[in-house]
Amino acid sequence: MRLDPHLLNAIRFLTVLPVPASADATQPDWLARAMKYFPVVGAGIGAASAIVFLVAGEFWSPLIAALLAITTSIALTSALHEDGLADTADSFGGGWTIEKRLAIMKDSRIGTYGALALGLGTALRIAALATLPVWAGAAALLAVHAAARAMPAFVMNRLPYSGDTNTMKVSYADAPVRPDELIFALIVVALASIPLALVSVASLVAGLLLGAALAALLTLWSRRLVGGYTGDVLGAVEQLFEIGFLLGVSALIK
């Protein structure tokens, strides 16, 4: 069976997993077309993290199990989203003009704001996950990784791209994600959320609301400070949704 090239592009972009080459990866709108599958890939990452969380919980404390689960997701994605969060924090915290902020965002070095955002964000996810019962935590991991990776598509449809496309390493066009693609992504998120809903519907709703609120605040902030979004901002949006979601779930499940 031949996999959809857009799915292969999503796997290639979001993870370190080896996948066959895809000719569609050279098309300018490849990212927008692949985004419908981001929650699918996210669900796979969440499932792997959930398995680690369940197995580790049999041998170690909840804190160690949570640490290993979060480490698994970071390893599978090569810290793609964490890198975006750090770069965005450095940019928004250290730049005084749009041009300066974009320049800082492209700098590979990490500064004080980035280090703090990275450390606090990772610590909050681990701490929130560690408070959950083992099966609730596993369900939360599956849901959050799928839902968080649907967020960038909505940001792309709301904001213009504010970076320099001429300096990008891959082909890119500021193309919207189509309504049918968004619907597909939301269906995947809904399916990935069923296990958590079976544990607690209220916690799922709280997680979605708090995660979406943090993602929306960063989106508004990005529009004000750099006039749109960049790849790093999309990574930061994903991270803030993860943080908010896990905090919301842990607030209602003890």
Own/partner pairs for 163-170, CB < 8 Å, 24+ apart? 163/102, 163/105, 163/106, 163/230, 163/231, 164/102, 167/106, 170/25, 170/30, 170/31
Measured between alpha carbons, how far is 50 from 35 in angstroms, rounded to an integer?
A: 23
Among residues of the chain, what percentage have pLDDT more than 90? 84
Measured between alpha carbons, how far is 147 from 208 in angstroms, rounded to an integer?
A: 8
Looking at residue 51, its pLDDT comes to 98
Decide: 99 and 220 in contact? Cβ < 8 Å: no
Of 50, 40, 73, the closest CA to residue 136 belongs to: 50
Q: For 177-209, how does the pLDDT look when each residue is reduced to its tens digit (9 = 90+)?
A: 999 999 999 999 999 999 999 999 999 999 999
Q: What is the mean pLDDT of the chain?
A: 93
Residue 97: exposed, middle, or buried by beta-carbon count in 10 A (0-12, 13-18, 19+)? exposed
Question: What's the pTM?
Answer: 0.95
Which residues does 200 contact at the CB level (< 8 Å), separation at least 6?
A: 136, 249, 252, 253
Sorted by where each begins, the domain ranges of the chain are: 37-252
Among residues of the chain, what percentage have pLDDT more than 70? 93
Tracing tokens 């810290």 back to the chain, one arrives at 79
Beta bridge partner(s), residue 161: 229
